[in-house]
Amino acid sequence: MDKHVYGGGQHWYAITICSALLTAFAVRVMWNVIPAMNAAGTGEWGYDRWF
């Protein structure tokens, strides 16, 4: 019986999925962490009240 040989697309599929998940995680972290940092308008930590 012949062995099935996977093409190059199988390799890039895994890389694409992993890259998408890592990018989504980075965006999610930045979306929540950056606004919670020191607000320029108030000089305090936490969300800017004008935002």
Model pTM score: 0.55
Q: What is the largest distance, in Å, between two alpha-carbon atoms of the chain?
A: 72
Report pLDDT digits (tens) over 24-35.
Answer: 999 988 887 776
Separation between Cα atoms, residue 33 and residue 4, nearest integer Å: 47
Report pLDDT digits (tens) over 6-51.
Answer: 777 778 888 999 999 999 999 988 887 776 666 566 566 665 555 5
Give the C-alpha distances (Å, rounded to integers) separating 6 from 15, 16, 19, 24. Answer: 15, 17, 21, 28
Question: How many Cβ atoms from other residues are within 10 Å of residue 48's Cβ?
Answer: 14
